[in-house]
Amino acid sequence: MAETKYDVVGIGNAIVDVIARAEDDFLVAEDLVKGSMNLIDETRAETLYGTMGAATEMSGGSGANTIAGVASFGGRGAFFGKVAEDGLGRTFAHDIRALDVHFETPMLTAGPSTARCLVLVTPDGERTMNTFLGACQMLGPDDVDEDVVAASSILYMEGYLWDPPQAKKAFVHAAKIANANGREVALTLSDSFCVDRYRDEFLDLIKSGTVTLLFANESELHSLYETADTETALAQLEQDCRTAVVTRSEKGAVVLTAGERVHVPAAPVDKIVDLTGAGDLFAAGFLFGRARGMDPEVCAKLGALAAAEVISHVGARPQVSLQALAGQNGFSL
Amino acid sequence: MAETKYDVVGIGNAIVDVIARAEDDFLVAEDLVKGSMNLIDETRAETLYGTMGAATEMSGGSGANTIAGVASFGGRGAFFGKVAEDGLGRTFAHDIRALDVHFETPMLTAGPSTARCLVLVTPDGERTMNTFLGACQMLGPDDVDEDVVAASSILYMEGYLWDPPQAKKAFVHAAKIANANGREVALTLSDSFCVDRYRDEFLDLIKSGTVTLLFANESELHSLYETADTETALAQLEQDCRTAVVTRSEKGAVVLTAGERVHVPAAPVDKIVDLTGAGDLFAAGFLFGRARGMDPEVCAKLGALAAAEVISHVGARPQVSLQALAGQNGFSL
């Protein structure tokens, strides 16, 4: 296999998060289901912003958070995602490039504005997300730099990409290039409602071997196999996917690979402040380890460590060097 | 005296903070003096933003942070400050209104963009600020709503207002109205270099009795009286100002009033994460207590409590309800 230039290249929705604390009553008044991700239009985004509290803006987007995490571990990352040439778009581009991530997707000069996600964090740390996709809907196959995909150990994609129709085509195109170059193709199921929208397509990607590494949390897994029983779903998943990582919040994670199951406990966290990004950062640790040839247990432990860091503060990207944190926790990267 | 509608009305530079962690080496490479506030032009702002790390955007501005703190204590706040009608301007307006602060200064529709402050936080929690004043330079006397000033217990102004020339006129105009209505007029010296730029004018405001309540930290006090000896400066200050509050970081604060000195210790904080806003939030607690007729010691203790909260996390505005925090700490507001 040819030498790699990047550990992980991600494709995802390029989003800036607008994060505010909210009481449970506010969710009820705004008819929002706690813990969910809702797609909203720009008018609703304006209205909801008008009623929500004082906010903090920071770059987000599930796949982009993961690539930021890979970079924080010292990994070489690249990202494809569409922003508009506006204030939020420049913020997104600055923040990801500041991590030395390769990000050269052309900015949209006309059309919808940069995507934003209004994140409401309740006192229990749970987040409820309201996403205006905006410019993300214009990401297409032409935005996939084939040389970058061919030169990356792993191609990582978020299930949320199925929402903007052109982005799905970019995903499929990139997966073909990665498959042809013998690279690993990873997918995260993103959220249970997203799985509900695109179940058959996701199953097809896994069963056909297009995707060889799957990330899911328990509720996404239940949704994928339409069962409330985790064991039933895990047994099915073992049949369908070469390697799968199922995260189970405070119960840790289980990696299914080569007929084996590896269980890894959750890393300790003093106080859960904001759950946003937990899954994204778990994936970051796992993917970094995987790209560097570590065994599944170590990969999952790196994932658990990164997830614990990100839920200990507001925002979905690491606030410390994950490379340094891993070092302090006895990992030699 | 007529009934009040607001506890505190602030006048200040309306700024959005762009906050990033930075190593000490970065400050050296960028020729920045740690702990200072530097005024920069838009070109320099672009260049520095290009070299600094991934950032978080949140509303800031010294006086605005103070009013946000007053509101968090349950106080009734109002604010005058100039933003442009752009993304950052809308962010600033949203965030301060979300706290139920009266903010109706007309947005600038042509001219410079909304002010931003590039805040670099080093591992020791110290912050180095780089401010592009932008639209703030267009705040003028016409932006002072006389009815609001007349109806506020305290008028609070930041020394930084002396930098944009028109804003100084707004300050003087507002002070006249407050004085004429028997309201208290408070000033913070903002920073030692600011004092160095406008020493004579600040001394004149105090000695003339235009300002009757002064906030300063130790280095600002040293700069005001051009001495390195705190006792010499305090003795002078007692002569010059009716009431003065001098904050001394981990040594607490001293209130000089009616020939007495009241010492208050700093409130405990687990870990100093980011010193941005410490002085602003001390002022918030003090002013809230003052407007509600509390004695100087209680006012200073509320200030210490608010300062301890804000330095325990990134960003210059409180992340919890200061009213609730005060309740948990035995204050009945």
Closest-CA distance, A121 to chain B, in angstroms, reads: 12
Q: Determine which of B19, B21, B57, B96 to mutate to test the interface with A (most A C-beta atoms within 10 Å).
A: B57
- A235 vs A212: CA distance, rounded Å: 16
- A66 vs A278: CA distance, rounded Å: 10
Smallest Cβ distance to B94: which of A49, A87, A313?
A: A49
What is the three-class DSSP state of B53? coil
pLDDT of residue B1: 61
Smallest Cβ distance to B95: which of A21, A55, A315?
A: A55
Residue B54 to residue A319, Cβ atoms within 8 A:
no
Residue A94 to residue B21, Cβ atoms within 8 A:
no
Q: Map out the domains of chain A with their CATH numbers.
A: 6-325 (3.40.1190.20)
Length of chain A in terms of residues written: 333
Q: What do you get for the CA distance between the two ends of chain B, in Å?
A: 23
pLDDT of residue A224: 97
Chain B residues closer than 8 Å to A314 by CB: 313, 319
pLDDT of residue A2: 74
Chain A residues closer than 8 Å to B94 by CB: 49-50, 54-55
Between A and B, how many residue pairs show a Cβ–Cβ distance under 8 A?
61
pLDDT of residue B258: 86
Please, what's the b/e burial string for B175-200 (b: 16 or more CB within 10 A of its CB; e: otherwise)? bbbbbebebbbbbbbbbbebbeebee
- A110 vs A171: CA distance, rounded Å: 23
Closest-CA distance, B211 to chain A, in angstroms, reads: 31
pLDDT of residue A83: 98
- A231 vs A246: CA distance, rounded Å: 12
**With a cut of 50, which residues of chain A have pLDDT below it?**
none
What is the three-class DSSP state of A69? helix
Chain A residues closer than 8 Å to B315 by CB: 56
Smallest Cβ distance to A98: which of B54, B58, B99?
A: B54
**With a cut of 50, which residues of chain B have pLDDT below it?**
none
Residue B49 to residue A314, Cβ atoms within 8 A:
no
Chain A residues closer than 8 Å to B101 by CB: none
Smallest Cβ distance to A54: which of B55, B87, B99?
A: B99
Smallest Cβ distance to A317: which of B54, B59, B98?
A: B54
Cα–Cα separations (whole angstroms), residue B58 to B19, B43, B51, B155: 8, 21, 19, 24
Which residue of B lies nearest to A58 if distances are taken between CA atoms?
B56
- A219 vs B172: CA distance, rounded Å: 61
Residue A319 to residue B21, Cβ atoms within 8 A:
yes
Residue A98 to residue B53, Cβ atoms within 8 A:
yes
Q: DSSP letters of B244-298?
A: EEEE-GGG-EEEEETTEEEEEPPPP-S-----TTHHHHHHHHHHHHHHTT--HHH
Q: Are strands B243-247 and B253-257 parallel, antiparallel or unpaired?
A: antiparallel
Q: Determine which of A94, A114, A276, A321 to mutate to test the interface with B (most B C-beta atoms within 10 Å).
A: A94
- Single out the residue of A275, A333, A284 nearest to residue A305, CA to CA: A284
pLDDT tens column, B203-257? 999 999 999 999 999 999 999 999 999 999 999 999 999 999 999 999 999 999 9
Q: And the tokens for A294?
A: 């570590």
Mean model confidence pLDDT for chain B? 96
Residue A56 to residue B54, Cβ atoms within 8 A:
no
Length of chain B in terms of residues written: 333
Chain A residues closer than 8 Å to B313 by CB: 313-314
Which residue of A lies nearest to B88 if distances are taken between CA atoms?
A87
Q: Determine which of B23, B56, B85 to mutate to test the interface with A (most A C-beta atoms within 10 Å).
A: B56
Residues of B with CB under 8 A from a CB of A: 20-21, 49-50, 52-59, 68, 86-88, 91, 94-96, 98-99, 313-315, 317, 319
Smallest Cβ distance to A53: which of B49, B91, B98?
A: B98
pTM: 0.93
